[in-house]
Amino acid sequence: MRGSFGKFGKSAAARAALGLAIVTGVAAGGFVPAVASAKEKEAKGGKVSNSPEFVKAAQAFQPAFTAAQGQTGDAQKTAGQALVPQLAAIQPNVKTPADQIIFGQWQQSVGNWVGDGALVRTGLQNMLDSGQLPADKVSLVQFFIGAKAYEAKDYAGAIKALQPVVAANYTDDVAAEMLAESYAQTGNPKAGLDALKQAIAARKAAGGVAPEAWYSRANRIAYNGKLNAETGEWAIMLAQAYPTSLNWLGATQLVRNSSQFTAQENLDLGRLMDRSGALKADPKYTEREYVDYIQAADARRNPGEVIKVAQEGLAAGALKSTDTFVSDAMTQAKGRIAADKASLPGLAKDAAAAANGVTANAAGDAYLQYGEAAKAEEFYKLALTKGGIDKDRALTRLGIAQADQAKWADAKASFAQVTGIRAPMAKLWTVWVDQKAAGK
């Protein structure tokens, strides 16, 4: 990843001049407060804000600085370059906090004019270290220090500057993202994810709403860091906070990509994509998902579901009727539906008489694919009672059958019992159930 502001949208560097104008009270460049004259010092009862050494240096420096401040473009850059060595000569005369904040503003302004990020950062740090900033502007300056450190790929410096900013619920959303990325760049992605969690908590505690970008950033950090558990966790959080079709698609994909799913898990994930609206995202993103869903459903095992999904994919424009895979799957499924439906009564009878739950589980699967949720629920419960089956798979599908009947509390209870490889998917199903129960 590049150490730049570009990937955070509007450049933080571009906001620096405007942001510091709030601190200094001018619209561009910088501002030099008047240095107290001898008479002013006397009028203030001897309370001197600036050192004599700095007063003398400032009086010599001020005219050239003011002239440069009034210029633009290349002319300002050229004038600023002439001021850089003068700043170095003045530095030994900085004696008091009042000197330091003025000198820091000079450095920040000249650094901006000549494009010297290191000088800008040094100036900002001097302003902060002076202790003379208004209390409500401290986080602003800390943010820009962190931003310049990040731009320079000084990620440790960025972390130091941005930690208190994010903890204080700073208004610029980019601060939390830069802090998280800085941790990731130093090889500690988990700390970056923790920082985003803290930022979300701080924003919510203040009565605000955490931006979608924070969740997306966390997803990328977790996925790139190969943190499977965290990837699933943040995928769930994204779908929970921003349940758009595209986010549901991304959430289900992240859960799948961070797990070792077989066709059976992928089938139930495809069912979640279908019900959550993930497959209603732009067709260019869903073609592969429709194909995977059809493959997982298998025309030999779930012909009714294969026909349903294929027809939905064609209607959405994600699949093409001329695609050999699609046409073959539909042909095979159509040829099996009549016999498959005819076998259901006998399968149900065998399930009741069987010593274990295998046949009952198969009956539940058969009824679920045809949309007969109540029947499916009945047989999954029977299968779980008799045992001898994949309990987590049966519980997942029991929850789906219950959700299809709007039995939200029952569905949640079933999903809550799912363990093992299916657990992250069950949690994602629970998020969808909660949203449906809330009328979303």
The reply to whether 364 falls in a domain is: yes
| 397/438 same-domain check | yes
The reply to whether 162 falls in a domain is: no
**C-alpha span between 420 and 232 (Å, rounded):** 13
| 358/268 same-domain check | no
| 287/321 same-domain check | yes
**C-alpha span between 285 and 249 (Å, rounded):** 9
The reply to whether 250 falls in a domain is: no
Contact between residue 151 and residue 3 where contact means Cβ atoms under 8 Å apart = yes
Tokens 């440069």 correspond to 68
Tell me the CATH number at 367: 1.25.40.10
Which residues, at least 6 apart from 258, have a Cβ–Cβ distance to it below 8 Å? 223, 228, 229, 231, 232, 235, 424
The reply to whether 244 falls in a domain is: no
The reply to whether 95 falls in a domain is: yes
| 272/381 same-domain check | no
For residue 291, give its domain range: 261-342
The reply to whether 224 falls in a domain is: no
pLDDT per residue as tens, the chain (440 positions): 333 344 664 445 444 443 444 344 332 333 344 444 444 444 444 454 899 999 999 999 999 999 999 999 999 999 999 999 999 999 999 999 999 999 999 999 999 999 999 999 999 999 999 999 999 999 999 999 999 999 999 999 999 999 999 999 999 999 999 999 999 999 999 999 999 999 999 999 999 999 999 999 999 999 999 998 899 899 889 999 999 999 999 999 999 988 899 999 999 999 999 999 999 999 999 999 999 999 999 999 999 999 999 999 999 999 999 999 999 999 999 999 999 999 999 999 999 999 999 999 999 999 999 999 999 999 999 999 999 999 999 999 999 999 999 999 999 999 999 999 999 999 999 999 999 999 98
Last residue of some domain: 324, 342, 360? 342
- The tally of domains found in the chain comes to 3
Phi, psi of 313 (to 5 degrees): -65, -40
Q: Residue 333, class by beta-carbon neighbours within 10 Å (0-12 exposed, 13-18 middle, 19+ buried)?
A: buried
The reply to whether 215 falls in a domain is: no
Contact between residue 306 and residue 297 where contact means Cβ atoms under 8 Å apart = yes
**C-alpha span between 192 and 186 (Å, rounded):** 10
| 54/114 same-domain check | yes
Q: What is the per-residue pLDDT for 49?
A: 84
DSSP 169-220: T-S-THHHHHHHHHHHHTT-HHHHHHHHHHHHHHHHHTT----HHHHHHHHH
Contact between residue 121 and residue 128 where contact means Cβ atoms under 8 Å apart = no
Q: What is the per-residue pLDDT for 258?
A: 85
Contact between residue 93 and residue 51 where contact means Cβ atoms under 8 Å apart = yes
Tokens 């001097």 correspond to 126
| 305/317 same-domain check | yes
| 338/419 same-domain check | no
| 352/436 same-domain check | yes
**C-alpha span between 344 and 359 (Å, rounded):** 11
**C-alpha span between 253 and 230 (Å, rounded):** 14
Contact between residue 351 and residue 384 where contact means Cβ atoms under 8 Å apart = no
The reply to whether 221 falls in a domain is: no
**C-alpha span between 40 and 48 (Å, rounded):** 9
Contact between residue 143 and residue 175 where contact means Cβ atoms under 8 Å apart = yes
| 104/35 same-domain check | yes
Residue 157 tokens, joined: 């410096």
Q: Residue 130, CB half-sphere, CA atoms under 13 Å: how many?
A: 27
| 425/385 same-domain check | yes
Last residue of some domain: 319, 342, 365? 342
Q: What is the per-residue pLDDT for 8?
A: 62
The count of other CB atoms within 10 Å of the CB of residue 287 is 16
| 50/136 same-domain check | yes
Coil/strand/helix, residue 256? helix
| 438/335 same-domain check | no
Last residue of some domain: 297, 319, 342? 342
